[in-house]
Structure 1
Amino acid sequence: MPVIRRTTMGIPLAVVAALTAALQPTSAATADVRTSPEPLGGHRSRPAPPTVAPTTTIVPTAVSAPATYTVVSGDTVSAIAGRFGLEVAAVLTANGLQWSSVIYPGQSLVLGGAAESSPAPAPAPAPTEKPAERAYEVVAGDTLIGIAKKHGTTVSSILETNGLTRSSIIYPGQTIAIPGEAAAPVPAPAPEPVPSPAPTAETTPLTSEMRSNAAVIVAVGRSLGVDEQGLVVALAAAMQESGLRNLDHGHADSLGIFQQRPSQGWGSPEQIQDATYSSTAFFVGVRGKTLGLLDVSGWRDMSVTEAAQAVQISAYPDAYAKWEQSARSWLAEL
């Protein structure tokens, strides 16, 4: 245009070219290329490859195995062994388990001994040592008394070996330890058995209180797998001791339907006056303190009065015989 020509006229051409170049945008990359010095030989140098930080592999530190471990819901033996870097076979061996054994929440497993890869063999037991325990898997229909009979031991010994109480429940698939020969104290040899007196024809009728207590004795006995003969022994013993009444008094500190004494290890006064507790104690004893009927070796071959006396240790050992006929009649009623 005439104005531009008029404006640029008189300005040297070199100045115009310089202003035009200055007003054009220049990228940083272009500037870098223009200002970078050319290497010798006329070839542009290649940029250095990016630096890659070395990869560090983190190896998890193995968690040391505790001495014992309490099983929680969802646990398996293999998972527990893997968690603590142990061999599954070592954990099974340390706890007397088999590959088919089932663990359950709350069960305590020994892990400390399982960490040893090749434990030294245990020395052969001396002839006087207690026989080794055996593992047994509970099946449907099992009871503690039935298991004890099957393996020639006592209910008290099984409870003590497995850390169970009389209120514990066993279930199919559970593995329990069966002790060797019972370590319970052996009572002194009984005198030559005397034939039980002939039963009387008369039967003592049950009052409502007597019937209620007799029903508890029978229910507890049946829950423990006690047969009819054992129930008759218990009913005869309770009738002789208390008249089948739950007494709050008796000779010395005797209490309850079986007149059991707290001072002799049968339990606290409150426990003994609980008919269910005292009936259970009559059949299976109190662990480590008293023997129950099922702990008495050969009680089924004894007369009713002898079997009752083996548990009650009464000053009148023949007094139970007179209640045998009534006890059989009550059992039939109940």
Structure 2
Amino acid sequence: MQIALPAAAHSSASSPQPRSSVPAPSLPKAAPTPVAVQAAPAQYTVESGDTISGIAAKFGLATASVLTLNGLGWSSMIFPGQVLMLSGATASPDAAPTAPAPPAPATSTYTVLSGDTISGIASAHGVTVAAVFAANGLSSASIIYPGQNITIPAAGTPQSAPAPAPAPAPPVSSPAPSAPQTVTQMSAEMRANAAVIVSTARSIGVGDHGIVIALAAAAQESSLRNVQFGDRDSLGLFQQRPSMGWGTPDQILDPVRATKAFFGGSSNPNPGLTSGLLDVPGWKSMSVAAAAQAVQKSEHPDAYAKWEASARSWLAELG
């Protein structure tokens, strides 16, 4: 069907013309229906069925930004009642389109072997040590281990030199949260595992500060659940790795043994293979986050701090 414009209709009445000479105007396309995006609150309490990507989309935020803000990884788990920080997360590219970034230089991946060093890997691939550091978020203080995947940047790609490793913070005599925190209510599963950590710690003579550190570490690593999966070969409450000497999978999934391994010291079930909290010089003077990081060596060293208020509350509740 063709639509004749008024001028075309008049012309056709006085001087008939071939049908093909009158083009049909194209109809305007309907505008896409905008997707309603709620304004992001400062904090969000996780509900049953929630996912990080779903929460991010609900508030028009980038999933990666929400993960980073809360010290989570792509394999991290969330659970009902957990409080996530949203204030400061960046908007999703879908919510606020930006100019396309230039294509990234080609990269490759190398799997670390026993005895490898960053300088040796860089030399073998014809790139600088600084470029490998920058491509992997590493510094001269970082540790690599067999089985770890290292990104190798394209040769000749300009890379900024890594920032020097931060100097250790001076010890404080009375560690306390650096910002107001909410307390996460424990599920039955969380309570049972927290009780194991508390009772095991008491049995080997660990005091309240050490127990708070262990509870915060387990909350960050596994949400206080004895999970049978994790990053790489990590398992259990503290996401300990068989490949790094923490025990066999069955041993790591034993909450009592895993807790003793976290504390280490004279009760360490892995003597000579792993070290725990009691083996860290000056741990009693460290903050909860610093002490937990000294054992766990996480890629998100500050993430443990957000669990301190909850850990103290759980300890008071369990006794």
Into which bin does the TM-score normalised by the smaller protein fall?
Answer: 0.3 to 0.5
Q: Which has the larger radius of gyration?
A: 1
TM-score, normalised by the number of residues in structure 1 = 0.42
